[in-house]
Amino acid sequence: MTHRRAVWLMVLVTLLWSIAGVVARHLEAAAGFEVNFWRSTFNALALVAGLRWLRGPALWSGLRRAPHLVWISGFCWAVMFTAFMLAITLTTVAMVLVTMALGPMVTALFARIFLKQRLPARTWAAIVVAGLGIAWMFGGGAGDGSLFGALVACAVPVAAAVNWTILQKIGRSTVNAPDMLLSVLIGALLSALCTLPLALPWQATAHDLGLLALLGVVQLAIPCLLVVTLARVLPAPEVALLALLEVIFGVAWAWLWAGETPSASVLAGGALVLLALVGNELLALRQRAADDVAAVRQPG
């Protein structure tokens, strides 16, 4: 897979991730942990069907023999699936989204420490600018949230940073690389089991279950399987940086289909994030073109 194709697929991933907010606005009775439970349950069912088709009977034996890195990644997926919903119940959406903007910085730090990966100045600059853009978008309401809720929200970018770093480390291996698609299934199962007691008594209507099934399959299962593959091609910090597009798309969905008109600060901050992302990708493209020219001119 080429870098350009991987970037476009990552954009598709963020587009699918971003529908959660606008779909949740149309739920009739389900709320809180029940939303997370049903979403993770449908996610797990879709993953079982998809991976059973891809892996056949070897799926279950693969789970039993999965190495520790697969389970660590699965735990990270479970934290990412669950902590977001828990944070939403404890603090404002703005506080959660501002906290999640720390993801690229944490991922870059982990990649530098654990993978010895040198990041170009353009990526560091894009991370900082994108973080400022997200803070600008949601800073107006961030002060209304509780400190505990913000601490819970911190689990999302930290778990994501660990996960992207693990996936890239595995992606570098060419011998006996474990099947990391199994980690997404493990994460979905853990998330559903952990939130089941907190989801009772169930109140979701048939309408709600249909929407939550849509979220489990389209918003979680498909993009999460894609991102596992893309993490083998894209550097971990770049995955985290592109993932910020989820916030931009989420605002757009809410504007178009939930009647939430964004403020001037949201539009300005979103433009800043897009500028950082596009600028980073254009500079990366230019650098690769220059490297290709240098390789062609090199004698011998």
Asked if residue 230 has pLDDT above 60, the reply is: yes
> What's the confidence (pLDDT) of residue 208?
96
Burial class from Cβ neighbours inside 10 Å (0-12, 13-18, 19+) for residue 92 reads buried
**At 145, is the pLDDT very low, low, confident or very high (cuts 50, 70, 90)?**
low
pLDDT in tens, 254-275: 788 877 777 777 778 878 887 8
- Comparing 238 with 207, which gets the higher pLDDT? 207
Output the DSSP codes for 172-236.
H--SS---THHHHHHHHHHHHHHHHHHHPSP---HHHHHHHHHIIIIIIIHHHHHHHHHTTTS-H
Distance CA 41, CA 208 (A): 14
User: By mean pLDDT, which of 155-159, 178-182, 189-193 is the weakest?
Assistant: 178-182
> What's the confidence (pLDDT) of residue 93?
62
> What's the confidence (pLDDT) of residue 217?
96
Is the bond preceding residue 157 a cis peptide, omega within 30 degrees?
Answer: no
Distance CA 115, CA 250 (A): 32
> What's the confidence (pLDDT) of residue 299?
61
**At 175, is the pLDDT very low, low, confident or very high (cuts 50, 70, 90)?**
low
Distance CA 55, CA 183 (A): 14
User: Is residue 209 within 8 Å of 96, Cβ to Cβ?
Assistant: no
Percent of the chain past pLDDT 70, that is, above it, reads 91
User: By mean pLDDT, which of 10-24, 56-70, 261-275 is the weakest?
Assistant: 261-275
Distance CA 28, CA 136 (A): 32
Domain ranges of the chain: 3-297
> What's the confidence (pLDDT) of residue 138?
67
pLDDT in tens, 190-219: 999 999 999 999 999 999 999 999 999 999
